[in-house]
Amino acid sequence: MQVGLVLGSGLGVVAERIAVRERISFRQAELPESTVPGHQGCFLRGRLGGAEVVAMCGRVHLYEGHSARDVTAGIRWMQGQGVERVILTNAAGSLNPQMKPGTWMMLGDHLNLTATSPLEGGPEFVDLSEVYDAAWRRRAGELAASAGVTLAEGVYAGLRGPQYETPAEVRMLRTLGADAVGMSTVLEAIQARALGMRVAAFSCLTNWAAGMPGAKLDHGEVMATGRAAAEPMARVLEALAGG
């Protein structure tokens, strides 16, 4: 059984651990191409640890002018390749004082604040009571603890972007119960669940969100923090893909 991986900003170190047999560009797969620095725009097919994987290196976003269907085309492509389980990753801003930049958060739930859905256009009433697979989350927690990796669990708020949030918006998100905020992942998770795929998702907390003490928002620093934090987590994701 193949496992899908979606690798976000600065997380290419995970791709470096894959024994690659085939590289397929987004263009070859007839998918929209990303314009965001740090997003390679290709699929890698090979082995990661003991698992057969299809890794999506980079993604496209709503803020690039794409539709929700475009944003989730990679999930549908992987499902068409036989992927039944998918691990999503992203870079996110922390809203929780207990979750410091440079650490990771496992998604237990999300808030879709993008005002759209990949399921628009028909009565596709998908049950999202458990978007992120509970058994997979428990396994990830065990693997992270064994590896000495700090892995919190929380709620991710997905917004459209591309601008970062204002301090007032951050206060709103915290009131709504969000622990981290970013511009991806939620639509991919919805699409994957609609296709019957098991989903796990992880945010690399690269910065404090606006208005939080010490907040400084710069895309270059987001990617640099993501790269530094990715190495220890890569081992956890490798083991999770294999189990």
- What is the domain-level CATH number for residue 236? 3.40.50.1580
The answer, as to whether pTM is greater than 0.85, is yes
pLDDT, averaged in runs of 10, over the chain (243 residues): 86 85 93 69 91 92 94 97 96 94 95 97 93 97 95 97 93 98 97 98 89 65 69 88 81
The dihedral formed by the CA atoms of 22, 60, 219 and 113, expressed in degrees to the nearest 10: -140
65-100: per-residue pLDDT in tens? 999 999 999 999 999 999 999 999 998 999 999 999
At residue 5, the pLDDT reads: 96
Cβ contacts of residue 221 below 8 Å, gap of 6+?
206, 207
Q: How far is CA 140 from CA 18, 32, 51, 131, in A?
A: 19, 31, 16, 15
Q: Which domain holds residue 21?
A: 2-242
Scanning the chain, the segments in alpha helix (DSSP H) are 12-15, 68-71, 73-80, 134-147, 167-176, 186-194, 219-242
Residue 218 corresponds to which amino acid? D
Q: Looking at the DSSP assignment, which residues form a beta bridge with residue 202?
A: 89, 106
- For the annotated catalytic residues, the residue numbers are 9, 39, 61, 63-64, 91, 183-184, 207, 219
Vertex 32: Cα angle to 121 and 59 (nearest 5): 95
Q: How many domains does the chain have?
A: 1
DSSP 8-state symbol, 63: G
216-238: per-residue pLDDT in tens? 656 666 666 667 777 888 889 99
At residue 232, the pLDDT reads: 83
Residue 1 corresponds to which amino acid? M
